[in-house]
Amino acid sequence: MVVLTGGEPTLQNLRPLIVYLKRDGWYVAIETNGTNMKAIPTIIDWVTVSPKVGVKYEGVIYCDEVKVVLDGKADPERARESIRAKHYYIQPCSENFEPAIRFVKENPEWRLSIQTQKLIDIR
């Protein structure tokens, strides 16, 4: 599996890379802020939208999963209204998981996503 992420990957011409990876048998995913969905080749296997604060979406976005970092600024419910997905994940912003756990308990349509490096204290 290869995940294309970092900055905003849709600002690059990804099609040649994705075609190469798919030809070699790789499962290819992308994580994007969702502002340039038309740039994602249809041959991609999985699309994660991680919306950023203040980003406005035109129309409804469709993807495989939404990942919202619960940092006190993010509005998960606005993301859920604007982005249609199979899965919705809340991710703690820090090693304090309690706000995210509380949110998921109060909003069962969301699931908890933990960054492993925070659990094992890798910096």
User: Is 54 contained in some domain?
Assistant: no
Q: Are residues 71 and 119 in the same domain?
A: yes
Q: Are residues 68 and 37 in the same domain?
A: no
Q: Are residues 80 and 34 in the same domain?
A: no
pLDDT of res. 40: 92
User: Which H, E and C letters describe 29-92, residue by residue?
Assistant: EEEECCCCHHHCCCCCCEEEECCCCCCCCCCCEEEEEEEEEECCCCCHHHHHHHEEEEEEEEEE
Q: Are residues 83 and 29 in the same domain?
A: no
Q: Are residues 77 and 121 in the same domain?
A: yes
pLDDT of res. 123: 67
Alpha carbon distance 37, 79 (integer Å):
15
Q: Are residues 69 and 28 in the same domain?
A: no
Say which amino acid occupies 105. K
| Number of domains present in the structure of the chain | 2
User: Is 39 contained in some domain?
Assistant: yes
pLDDT in tens, the chain (123 residues): 999 998 899 999 999 999 999 999 999 999 999 988 888 999 999 999 998 887 777 777 899 999 999 988 888 988 898 899 999 999 998 778 899 999 999 999 999 998 777 777 766
pTM: 0.88
Q: Are residues 70 and 123 in the same domain?
A: yes
Q: Are residues 68 and 119 in the same domain?
A: yes
In contact, 111 and 92? CB cutoff 8 Å:
no
Q: Are residues 66 and 39 in the same domain?
A: no
Domain, as residue range, for 121: 61-123
